[in-house]
Structure 1
Amino acid sequence: MATNQDDVKLLGAVGSAFVCRVQIALKLKGIQYKFLEENMANKSDLLLKYNPVYKKIPVFVHNDKPVSESLVILEYIDETWKQNPILPSDPYRRALARFWSKFIDDKIIATSIKAVHTVDDEKEREKNVEESSEALQILENELKDKFFGGENIGFVDIAAVYIAFWIPLIQDITGLQLFNAEKCPNLYKWSHEFLNHPIVKENMPPRDPIFAYFKAHYESLFVSK
């Protein structure tokens, strides 16, 4: 049971889509928390203590009990603080929300990241771009309302923050074409509605420094080859 005296911390880094998911959920729920910025090149003892298995962010700490992996954290938050639910109450719809969120991680985020990093194998890169585009098209066909959660932001919308903010960033930096208004009109419209939602807007990282960081990282891939 959550109380007003709960000690809530989030270990993360500005610019991480997975950390951003948790920040949006906490804001939607109205939960106060302390943000602990992590340097992933020099991981803190706290991060290694709370996530010794994966040693990754985000890590959510509630009354000294750590939870890792962003989708698991979202479920924990939703079950602990009942206000403004992000998962549907119907068991079947809850299962679908979990399915599509995992689909986003496995079929869109993973393949688009591979496409970015495959700079020395054009055939492999095209394969990853094609897989990402196909997965985005499948998700496009699943979007029936204003948001995946209906009229309000829900679990899948939060999971898809990478599509709304980070994929356009990737496209601008790399020239890869994964989705646009012509290919995925529903997703394109959704991305603008989502990013302009007051709570989402408040919790998005500033675009310019994130763009500069990822551009430098992308260019370094060619130097290291």
Structure 2
Amino acid sequence: MARLLLCLLVAVFATVGYAGEVSCDANALRSDLEAAFKRDQHDRLLSRELAAAARNKETAVNESERRALWDKINQLDLANQQFLDEVVVRCGWPKSSQVGARAASAAFLIVQHASLGFKLKYLPIMRELAKEGELPMHQLALLEDRVRTSQKLPQLYGSQVDTKDGVTLLPVEDEAGLDKRRAQVGLPPICKYLEGFVKFYGSIRYSKCLATESR
């Protein structure tokens, strides 16, 4: 399996043209990845807070403010993707056993929030990492769902939702087996998962779950 992972990394190296400065020292790399984690999450959390504040005031989110925030998020995502490409080229994939779980999660988030092409580039590597125990199965499940929905295919684990008018679950393959698949990768039951969106986006619009209103 290690040989297969090496081959996959070599294939990635051939597609990368960015060559900045990254230290492969474990402590330095951990620090850089944790900084990338913060960059990835900070404004996304702010976006949710804006949505929650608007709901509490029963007003619409300020569209110009929302657009400006997502323009910033998209720019940061591109910078993070360049950084991860450079890390992989210089140091290999940042495994949790080398840099810690939080830093390794940063690499996952960078891929999860990237374009479909970027996701597909790293998906084979991340599948192998999951088999090795270096990537949590629930993270791989989220990535698989994101890839499938981007390809207009039904998702497998029910992680992807539409929040334009309440919380709507995007199409799922074999809905009857959804909670079983979720349990197999360490995800909570679908209705419990969807409840986490209610505070920010309103009622659940999924027939298999009881309608949930924000408090």
TMscore range, shorter length:
0.3 to 0.5
Normalized per residue, which structure has more strand?
1
Q: TM-score, normalised by structure 2?
A: 0.38
Q: TM-score, normalised by structure 1?
A: 0.37
